Amino acid sequence: MSLLRLRVTNLRCLGAVDIEPGDNNLIVGENASGKTSLLEAIFVLGRGRSFRTAGRNGLIRDNQDGATVVGDVRRETSSGSIGVGLERNGPIRIRADGKDASSAAVLASWLPVQVIDPGVHRLVDESPGVRRRYLDWGVFHVKHDFLDQWRRYHRVLRQRNAALKGGPGNRLEPWDEQLVTAAEAVTEARQGYLNGLAPEVAAVGEALLGQRVTLKYRRGWADGKAFGEALHDATDRDRRLGVTHPGPHRADVAIQFEDHAARGRVSRGQQKLLAAGLILGQLRHVRRESGIRSVLLLDDMAAELDAQRLGRFLSVVRELDVQLFVTALTVDAVSLPEPQRMFHVERGTVSKMV
Ligand SMILES: Nc1ncnc2c1ncn2[C@@H]1O[C@H](COP(=O)(O)OP(=O)(O)OP(=O)(O)O)[C@@H](O)[C@H]1O
Ligand SMILES: [Mg+2]
């Protein structure tokens, strides 16, 4: 897909933006001019949330009641408009193709977007939830029944947790049976996806770092046990604490770097490249498996990587078929593939340069 037109009002320092991006877009401006905010607007349009902050209120421009982001998108098979409306302390409003939508999943299907920013190392460094979200984004795009499977699993999980909290009189068997079926479906989809993803990430990791990067799926319960057995074994503890312990909601992607766990071992610079490799590998894999062309947002990469690593990074990016949005302080900081469009950001106003 391609984002053909982007309109933003009152998001962070951006007052009113209306731009027509091309395939490769360089966004330049001084510190605090609004470059990251512009990337954030695109991310909000594809995900319904920010990559910088968890809450939505901070996204709304000071002294304003709400913010909007609207995009005209051309997909492989259709074109349309998608939009997100944020209200201070209010719910998020999502529209796609002229209709209200209740979930951000519809945005993702219109605008698959990934970001590599100075905080990208969190993918390697932080808790499993970050990696589950990374993995599930890809599974969602490649396996079309995954969203339903994932929702079913979480629905049954909530019901089982409610039964656990309800006290010892509540029977768990009816939920356990459904939870096992749902967990198996989620696990199989994620595992199958990861099997295809791992070689792509290994290839990108080799190109970026010159090292061996391996990914392994951790299902969220002990190896060598069927899920039903793990659930059964955990029942006493689950009852005591009122929450289900084993399961795909505790899954993780183990990242190994030259046969050692990457977390807590590799340098911050390596973590960033490693995490960037995971994202680029995923974009390549999703493109190959589903034909989907994604949007890739690169924030401040020239400030993050030394000249040699930036060169290697950009040569991998150049080979991806993605729509690129890249921020930099100056026009000569990064060289983008052609055709290229340049936008200048100054105090929250965006104008086209070339
Ligand atoms: N809710 C908000 N309302 C108004 N301004 C905001 C809001 N949130 C952040 N800002 C301001 O927006 C400005 C631009 O921030 P942004 O992070 O987009 O800049 P940037 O161009 O990416 O800068 P840098 O080069 O330093 O990364 C900052 O001065 C920031 O304080
Ligand atoms: Mg910035």
3-state secondary structure 173-188: HHHHHHHHHHHHHHHH
Ligand that lies nearest to the alpha carbon of residue 32, given by its number in the listed order: 1
* Residue pLDDT, tens place only, 77-112: 889 999 999 999 999 999 999 999 999 999 999 999
Euclidean distance between CA atoms 229 and 59, whole angstroms: 45
Does residue 233 carry a pLDDT above 70?
Answer: yes
Q: Give the Cα separation of 183 and 206 in Å (integer).
A: 33
User: Quick one: which of 113, 110, 104 has its CA closest to 86?
Assistant: 104
Mind listing the pLDDT tens digit for each residue in 168-178? Answer: 888 999 999 99
21: CA distance to ligand 1 center in Å? 21
Could you tell me the distance, in angstroms and rounded to a whole number, from the CA of residue 128 to the centre of ligand 2? Answer: 26
For ligand 1, atom 7, which residue shows the shortest CA distance? Answer: 12
Give per-residue pLDDT as tens, 32-55: 999 999 999 999 999 999 999 999
Looking at all shown ligands, the one closest to residue 60's CA atom is: 1
For the stretch 289-343, pLDDT in tens is 999 999 999 999 988 888 899 999 999 999 999 999 999 999 999 989 888 999 9
What separation in angstroms does the CA of 302 have from each of 28, 75, 120, 310? 12, 30, 14, 7
Residue 103 has phi, psi (to 5 degrees) of -135, 150
Question: Which residues does ligand 1 sit against, CB inside 6 Å?
Answer: 12-13, 29, 31-37, 58, 60-62, 300
Q: Which residues contact 35 (CB under 8 A, 6 or more apart)?
A: 27, 28, 29, 299, 327, 345
E strands, 29-78, are: 66-74
Share of residues in the chain with pLDDT > 90 (%): 89
| pLDDT reading at 213 higher than 70 | yes
What is the number of the ligand closest to the CA of 34?
Answer: 1
The pTM for the full model equals 0.96
Distance 256 CA to ligand 2 centre (A): 30
DSSP line for 118-156:
TTTTHHHHS-HHHHHHHHHHHHHHH-TTHHHHHHHHHHH
- What residues does 256 pair with on adjacent strands? 214, 261
Pairing outcome for strands 2-11 and 66-74: antiparallel
Rounded CA-CA distance 246/238 in Å is 9
Phi, psi for residue 9 in degrees, rounded to 5: -130, 135
**Contact criterion met (CB below 8 Å) for 45 and 71:** yes
Closest atom of ligand 1 to 300 CA is 27
Site to probe by mutation for ligand 1, drawn from 12, 61, 345 as the one with most ligand atoms within 8 Å of Cβ, is 12
Q: How far apart are CA 311 and CA 139, in angstroms?
A: 30
Domains of the chain: 1-112+293-354 (3.40.50.300), 120-291 (1.20.1050.90)
Q: How far is the CA of 347 from the centre of ligand 2 (A)?
A: 13
Give me the mean pLDDT over the 23-37 stretch. Answer: 97
